[in-house]
Amino acid sequence: MLLPTFLAFFAWLLQPSYSIPTLRHLFGSSIDSLDNVILFDAPAFRDHSGEWTAAIPAFVSLREISVQPMAKAFTLVLNDLGINVGNRAHTLADRLELFAAIGLSGKKLDVSVNGCNRGSFSLSRTSGLPNLGQSLTTVPLGNCNVTQLVANVRLSTSDTRGFSASIYPSPPDGFGVISGSFSFFLVGPMVNFFLG
């Protein structure tokens, strides 16, 4: 009975290279040099005890080849023709890379937030199909002593890249951020669900 199980496991290990992230997930993987992370800006709210809570969305994908050099060359050609496109080619290249992204399931993001007493936590592992590579986690930040909060993904010491996002604290009344994703924020009147 053990021999068929061992043979099935051994055959699974010999799968093509695209299955390697799944193998790394078995051993408690977090982000490595083959992964790309998008940590989206997020809203934060005060709960009934006065501590901050944030809903942090993230996306983890395979690291792809950058199209930025092509965008830069395209911009130079257009500039030589007298057409000034400014930073639009760079923005277009950033957005095109998202369409070709291959999400990774089971990835764990360790995140820290400056100035909060509970500012170090792990986001939920990224999802499988149909939302491959996505994560949305509500995390308690505790008491925060700064007005501008920045979330940073903690990487290995050998990885020099940086992935960060802003967290926008909303007051319990007046106007504040009530939704945030994909660089779009809705600002409106706050209704205090926690205290009222």
pLDDT digits (tens, 9 = 90+) for 50-67: 899 999 999 999 887 677
Position 27 scores a pLDDT of: 44
How far is the C-alpha of 46 from the C-alpha of 115, rounded, in Å?
15
Position 196 scores a pLDDT of: 44
Position 93 scores a pLDDT of: 75
Position 186 scores a pLDDT of: 52
Instruction: Give the right CATH number for 30-63+104-189 from 2.30.30, 2.120.10, 3.30.70, 2.60.40.
Output: 2.60.40
Average pLDDT over residues 3-25: 45
Dihedral angle sign, alpha carbons of residues 37, 41, 46, 50: positive
How far is the C-alpha of 195 from the C-alpha of 132, rounded, in Å?
36
Average pLDDT over residues 187-192: 50
16: preceding bond cis by omega (within 30 degrees): no
Domain ranges of the chain: 30-63+104-189, 65-100
pLDDT at 178 over 70: no
pTM for the model stands at 0.66
pLDDT at 124 over 80: yes
Position 15 scores a pLDDT of: 43
- Which of the two residues, 8 and 154, has the higher pLDDT score? 154
Average pLDDT over residues 122-133: 92
Confidence of residue 68 (pLDDT cuts 50, 70, 90): confident
> Identity (one letter) of the amino acid at 15?
Q
pLDDT at 161 over 60: yes
> Identity (one letter) of the amino acid at 56?
I
Contacts of 68 (CB under 8 A, 6+ apart): 90, 93
